[in-house]
Amino acid sequence: MTTKKNVNKDATQKRERDLLKETFIDLENELKLLRSSRRKLEQKMGTVSKHLSSVQAEEIQLRNEISELMKKETNLEKNRSGLKDKMTDLTKRIDKVKSIGRELKDI
């Protein structure tokens, strides 16, 4: 009978070892999958990071262009305002000259 117990004990231990071996193999496979996923995510993150840097550089460039355009717009607005003032002044002078011309005709 002791041999039957030993055989059963050995068989049980073998099953336990086999189960542990399968568990370790499954864990190794899962680790491989996780490592692969991590590498893919790191590559994707690198790509996204480069793209973000590119977009940020483009944003800075566009902001600078907008700033330059705003300066030009300010200058053009000043010129327009100055020309408007000159036109108003010229209109007044023309009206004065016309008024003087009418007065001279009346004399």
Residue that has been written with the tokens 């000159």 in this structure = 86
Q: Does residue 90 lie within any of the structural domains? A: no
Residue 13 inside a domain? The answer is yes
Q: Is residue 105 in some structural domain?
A: no
User: CA–CA distance from 13 to each of 7, 24, 27, 66 (Å)?
Assistant: 10, 16, 21, 77
pTM (predicted TM-score): 0.57
> Tens digit of pLDDT for each residue in 71-105?
999 999 999 999 999 999 999 999 999 999 888 88
DSSP helix/strand/coil, 107: coil
Instruction: Please indicate, yes or no, if residue 88 is contained in any of the structural domains.
Output: no
- Give me the residue label for tokens 């902001």: 63
Is 104 a domain residue?
A: no
pLDDT tens per residue, range 19-47: 999 999 999 999 999 999 999 999 999 99
The reply to whether 84 falls in a domain is: no
DSSP string covering 28-68: HHHHHHHHHHHHHHHHHHHHHHHHHHHHHHHHHHHHHHHHH
pLDDT for 2: 52
Report if residue 21 sits inside a domain: yes
In a domain, 28, yes or no: yes
- Number of domains into which the chain is organized: 1
| Domain range enclosing 50 | 1-76
